[in-house]
Amino acid sequence: MIRSRRWQALMVALLMVAGSTVATWRRPTVYLADQIGQPNLQTLFPSAFGQWHVAAGQTPILPAPDVQAVLDAIYNQVLARTYVNAAGDAIMLTVAYGGDQSDGTGAHRPEACYPAQGFSVTANQVGSLRIGPRNVPVRRLLTQRDWRYEPVTYWIAVGHEVVTTGVGQKLAQMRYGLRGVIADGMLVRVSSIDADGAHAHALQAAFLEELARALDAKSLDRVFGAAAGA
């Protein structure tokens, strides 16, 4: 674990140096959001689809004021909804969008955000989610605060690329930067209250698969990343 963290720290340091060199050689000047337009999260994510609909008056736990101040500096839009189905299952969806994913405004990942709200992260694993032709990389967490067990599934879309690590995020930014483009970014997170992490993550995957079926092709690319070869 210690060796892995040291390796990650070294990789981030090397990428920062490389990114600085690239920035000096060719500083990005065009915003991807200006080319393809900023999404409207309220309309991008339907209030009802498949067996799910928004539960009026229910939202995920709000961040502490200091955490909210950081989020406000990073993101242009934040959407927080709770969806329910006829069986009484509830899924909390939180989506944060920022038009500039350069170094100063990189996405704020849940494994840092949850502890800032008093949760402990007891498991943190990379997985995948099959969405049609897409094999979407995701990160799955188990979090706990007192009696509240909240398993989480999330990913970050940098432009049309999906990443789950800080290194992957940096590389995606650099790939866009080499084309003179400043990528936008979207963090998509689903969670539920459930002491059974495996059951929660399976339910979250089913929810996301139904959500994907409700989106058009352009929206799919924005939320789940472009399909291979697209």
CATH code: domain of residue 169:
3.40.1000
pTM of the model: 0.82
In a domain, 143, yes or no: yes
In a domain, 144, yes or no: yes
CA distance 156 to 139: 9
Q: Tens-digit pLDDT profile for the chain (230 aa)?
A: 555 555 555 555 555 544 544 444 467 788 888 888 889 999 999 999 999 999 977 655 556 666 666 666 667 889 999 999 999 999 999 999 988 866 555 557 899 889 988 999 999 999 999 998 899 999 999 999 999 999 999 999 998 999 988 888 889 888 988 989 998 899 999 999 999 999 999 999 999 999 999 999 999 999 999 875 45
In a domain, 58, yes or no: yes
Could you list the residue range(s) of the whole structural domain that residue 59 is in? 29-224
In a domain, 15, yes or no: no
In a domain, 171, yes or no: yes
In a domain, 5, yes or no: no
For the chain, the domain total comes to 1
In a domain, 55, yes or no: yes
In a domain, 148, yes or no: yes
C-beta contacts of 34-39 below 8 A and 24+ residues apart: 35/181, 38/76, 38/77, 38/97, 38/99, 38/184, 39/77, 39/97, 39/186, 39/219, 39/222
Give the pLDDT confidence score for residue 100 in this predicted structure.
Answer: 81
Give the pLDDT confidence score for residue 148 in this predicted structure.
Answer: 95
Q: 70 with 220: CB under 8 angstroms?
A: no
